[in-house]
Amino acid sequence: MVDIENKTEFPDEEIVLKMMNLMKENRSDYQYSLFEKDMEPTEENFQHLAYIINHDLANNVLRRTIDNRWLHGTPMHLTVAGLDYLSHWGGITATNKTFTITIAGETIRALIEAQIEASNATEREKNSFKAHLKHLPQKVLEAQLPSLISQGLSQIPDIFSWIGKLSDF
């Protein structure tokens, strides 16, 4: 038996997604209940519904009675977090967990140019690379930014010490 309620087993993703998609499809039905139309009222299915509700992905009241039966209310609808979970981009939930860093194109160029200047290359090579950099389209620099950040982070000799210093701010 699946015992998601007591967190001894993970839910079946296929069942969770099926339930959530059914709730999404029936969101205009104010009397909608998964167990009246679309799914069998099995212990396993109630456990999966409990998982969805406990993660605030659906609005519903779901309780066990003294005689160990499940009681649930209607309608069964997804919360905005549930709708976001089903969306391909994660919705506002994903957006709220993302932070955006804005760096002007000239700032990126200046940082790269400083690295060119600090290199052991000859003046002729440095000038050649700086000229090439000057003519790179902004989109090329933007596309390479994640790579630049990854390479920069990989150069930090003691990442743990560095993170520790951040807590001083």
pTM given for the model: 0.51
Do 128 and 146 sit in the same domain of this protein?
yes
Per-residue pLDDT averaged across 104-124, rounded? Answer: 91
State the average pLDDT for the chain: 83
The pLDDT of residue 165 is above 50: yes
CA atoms of 49 and 19, how far apart (whole Å): 8
Q: In this structure, is residue 150 part of a structural domain? A: yes
Dump pLDDT digits (tens) for 67-99: 988 888 777 788 888 888 888 766 666 667 766
Confidence class of residue 118 from pLDDT cuts 50, 70 and 90?
Answer: very high
CA atoms of 53 and 138, how far apart (whole Å): 46
The pLDDT of residue 40 is above 90: no
The pLDDT of residue 30 is above 80: no
Domain stops at, among 79, 96, 113: 96
Q: In this structure, is residue 8 part of a structural domain? A: no
User: What CATH number does residue 59 fall under?
Assistant: 1.10.10
Dump pLDDT digits (tens) for 50-66: 888 888 898 887 888 89
Dump pLDDT digits (tens) for 139-157: 888 888 888 888 888 888 8
DSSP 8-class letter at 136: S
The pLDDT of residue 124 is above 90: yes
* CA distance to 54, 73, 132, per residue, from 123 (Å): 63, 75, 14
What pLDDT was estimated at residue 1? 43
Domain stops at, among 53, 73, 96: 96
The pLDDT of residue 28 is above 80: no
Structurally, the chain folds into a number of domains equal to: 2
Position with higher pLDDT, 121 vs 158 = 121
Residue ranges making up the domain that contains 116? 105-166
Q: Which residues contact 9 (CB under 8 A, 6 or more apart)?
A: 2, 3
Which H or E run contains 72? strand 70-72
Confidence class of residue 128 from pLDDT cuts 50, 70 and 90?
Answer: very high
Do 17 and 78 sit in the same domain of this protein?
yes
The pLDDT of residue 4 is above 60: no
Contact indicator for 101, 39 with CB cutoff of 8 Å: no
Q: In this structure, is residue 7 part of a structural domain? A: no
